[in-house]
Amino acid sequence: MPDRSTKTSDKSMPTLAGELYDLVRAYAKQETIEPIKGLGRYAAFGVVGSFMVGIGVVLLGIGLLRALQTETGETFDGGWSWAPYLLTLLACGPRRRRAR
């Protein structure tokens, strides 16, 4: 069995440097670019989902407003015609969280 410690390499120094460069480049690509592509896909689904939820909230708000305007009879007629808008804004508006 030949002893590897005494065997000299058949490759020249520029060849070894080129192989090292290719190896480091492939490793960097594998560990940085590919995970970023996966992260981009994940972020794209989040943006699309947020957009869809936003559309849903707007449509629910319009539905609530129309329900308050039509299904409450004469409750919000005359001087109280602004009340359905306020109630809808309060129902669909952002929530404040209390500090603990």
Task: Tell me the three-class secondary structure of the chain, residue by residue.
Answer: CCCCCCCCCCCCHHHHHHHHHHHHHHHHHHHHHHHHHHHHHHHHHHHHHHHHHHHHHHHHHHHHHHHHHHHCCCCCCHHHCCHHHHHHHHHHCCCCCCCC
24-78 confidence digits (pLDDT tens):
999 988 888 888 888 888 899 999 999 999 999 999 999 999 999 999 988 888 8
pLDDT band for position 5 (cuts 50, 70, 90): low
Predicted TM-score of the model (pTM): 0.59
Task: Supply the pLDDT for residue 10.
Answer: 80
Q: What is the pLDDT of residue 40?
A: 86
